[in-house]
Structure 1
Amino acid sequence: MTVFASDMDGTFLNDQGGFDEPLVQQLLDQMKTNGDHLVVASSNHYEHLQQLFANVIGPISYVSNNGAHVVNETGQSISQQLLPTKLWHEIVRWLTTTYPQAAIIVVTTDQTFSNQPKDSNRLLAARYFYANLQAADLMTIDQPAYKLDVTWPEADVFEYKQAILNQFGDQVEAVMSGMNGIDIMLPGISKLAGIQRLLDNWQLTVDQLVAFGDNDNDYAMLAAAKQGWAMKNAAPNLLTRISQVTPLDNDHGGVQHIIQHLL
């Protein structure tokens, strides 16, 4: 029995945001026959991930919001870990003062809110990932949150990640999620931690895990897996740390090629 866990953007998905649905359906059919599992492990919101897989069926589980929300193959939420409202308000106040150029999205269990104007290009672009994204005064939102999704106009956000961790210490986890972004969550939250919850439920271990990723927030699951594959098109800081690299990039079915071979 094998658990295949894959990041989405830049990994399982091609550059147009899709995948070869007939091929993936064949792979899912074979996984079901074998008793295998596919875990969609992403920084994206659960509802967005469901939409991506709306046209295929099979043993699919979801580790969404970088591990803050875990849903098994039956559609049952088995883990939801939320930033307390008081904490994320404090983080937002610090971010808006320190980095006024930062676009902040608050992801709650039912809604998503942005500090950007409702007709701004940044908010409209983010609606690809958060269909019901609303412009709001974030300080008026009184709900706990899976995460804060923070983006900057420039590409290199490593220094911002370090500044967040320096400011809030062990109160948060901060990971670079690609697309000039950083996700801020509770400490201990990660894709690997979410996958581990599923493995525990299935009475499996990381020795049965094959994982794929392309960015900083994928490193832990790739390093822990029996087989951890960095994408050919992965970020340089991941390629320097993960030795196993897919022969094909995300735009040529790199993940699906490896899964097909292993099945």
Structure 2
Amino acid sequence: MDQHLIALDMDGTTLNNQSKLTDHTVSTLRRLANDGHLVVIVTGRPWLISAHLYDQIGLKSPIINFNGALAHLPYQNWKHEYAIKVTRELTLDMLESRRELGVQTLIAEDKHHVWANHPSNELPEFLPAQLSDDQILNERNLTDDPIALTIQFDPAKKDAIINRVNERYGDFVEPRVWGGGYSIMELIHRGTHKETALSYLAHHFQIDRQHIVAFGDEQNDLEMIDFAGHGVAMKNAIPELKAVAKDVTTLDNEHDGVADYLEKYFQL
């Protein structure tokens, strides 16, 4: 069989509801990688909280983080790595305006660093529960442009934040509100989607679009699922994603839906 690019969203897709990979999923993905397919994690997560998943599967392929704003080959200096950043100016502006805009927690991140205005125990895996002095988000510690900002906000102020960002930085920044009932918004460079990075990797590895199998469940997977030759929505995916997908898994993310689908698709 021709080499395929298998693109995997993590949360709500490849991971179960405890944010874990099952042994079944790991063994299926390893087998496909060993068979010569390019298994690629494509996640909104930063590298810092997806490295353990990459390592658990035992991948040697590139990974896409921050919804397409970072593509890299972990643990190597890869000349094709890229990072699409927002600006330090935007970050410090949001920090200064946080009370006025109802910003509760503000996080800035790049490949190897995370800074926040304070620790938070509300979403342990996604918001930093502990910060060292040099991780406190301020003008002194933030010396460079970050890749992404994550904002936990007062729901009543959502439109105020979006309006401020669009008014001052709308030419290059895109606000995206998380699904799943969280009052969390992400700011990344405008026009940056999972599909951007997936297209880049497919071109680099000379894999035809028809040989891309992609899985997702949420709003931030729309462009990727639409772009892939074989875009698959999870059984538990939002209706908008199912509407653009070529297929839907029989099982949800709690029951190894991705592994089950891949076993049938590749006749393992």
The alignment's TM-score, normalised by the length of structure 1, stands at: 0.83
Kept in 2: contact 1:103–1:150 (CA 8 A) = yes
1:63, 1:81 → 2: CA distance?
12
Aligned residues: 256
Does residue 29 in structure 1 map to residue 27 in structure 2? Answer: no
Kept in 1: contact 2:24–2:256 (CA 8 A) = no
2:72, 2:234 → 1: CA distance?
25
Does residue 166 in structure 1 map to residue 166 in structure 2? Answer: yes
Quickly say closer, same or farther: Cα 1:100–1:129, change in 2 above 3 A: closer
1:10 matched residue in structure 2:
12
1:230 matched residue in structure 2:
233
Deviation at 1:177? 3.6
Does residue 61 in structure 1 map to residue 62 in structure 2? Answer: yes
Deviation at 1:245? 2.0
1:207, 1:7 → 2: CA distance?
18
- Greater CA deviation, 237-246 or 143-152? 237-246
1:131, 1:259 → 2: CA distance?
36
1:208, 1:236 → 2: CA distance?
24
Report the secondary structure of 2:176's partner residue: strand
Deviation at 1:193? 0.9
Does residue 109 in structure 1 map to residue 111 in structure 2? Answer: yes
Quickly say closer, same or farther: Cα 1:21–1:131, change in 2 above 3 A: farther
Kept in 2: contact 1:21–1:55 (CA 8 A) = no
Identity, % of aligned pairs? 24
Kept in 1: contact 2:9–2:41 (CA 8 A) = yes
Deviation at 1:5? 0.5
* Aligned residue runs from structure 1 range 1-263, under 5 A: 1-33=3-35, 35-72=36-73, 75-77=76-78, 78-94=81-97, 96-116=98-118, 118=119, 120-122=120-122, 125-127=123-125, 133=131, 136-140=136-140, 141-152=142-153, 154=155, 159=159, 163=163, 166-167=166-167, 168-178=169-179, 179-242=182-245, 244-263=247-266
1:151, 1:91 → 2: CA distance?
12
Deviation at 1:18? 1.0
Kept in 2: contact 1:44–1:129 (CA 8 A) = no
The letter for the 2-side match of 1:121 is: N
Deviation at 1:31? 3.2
Deviation at 1:150? 1.6
Deviation at 1:92? 4.0
Quickly say closer, same or farther: Cα 1:27–1:79, change in 2 above 3 A: same
Structure 1 unaligned residues grouped into runs of 5+: none
Report the secondary structure of 1:203's partner residue: coil
Kept in 1: contact 2:101–2:160 (CA 8 A) = no
Report the secondary structure of 1:197's partner residue: helix
Q: CA RMSD in A?
A: 2.9
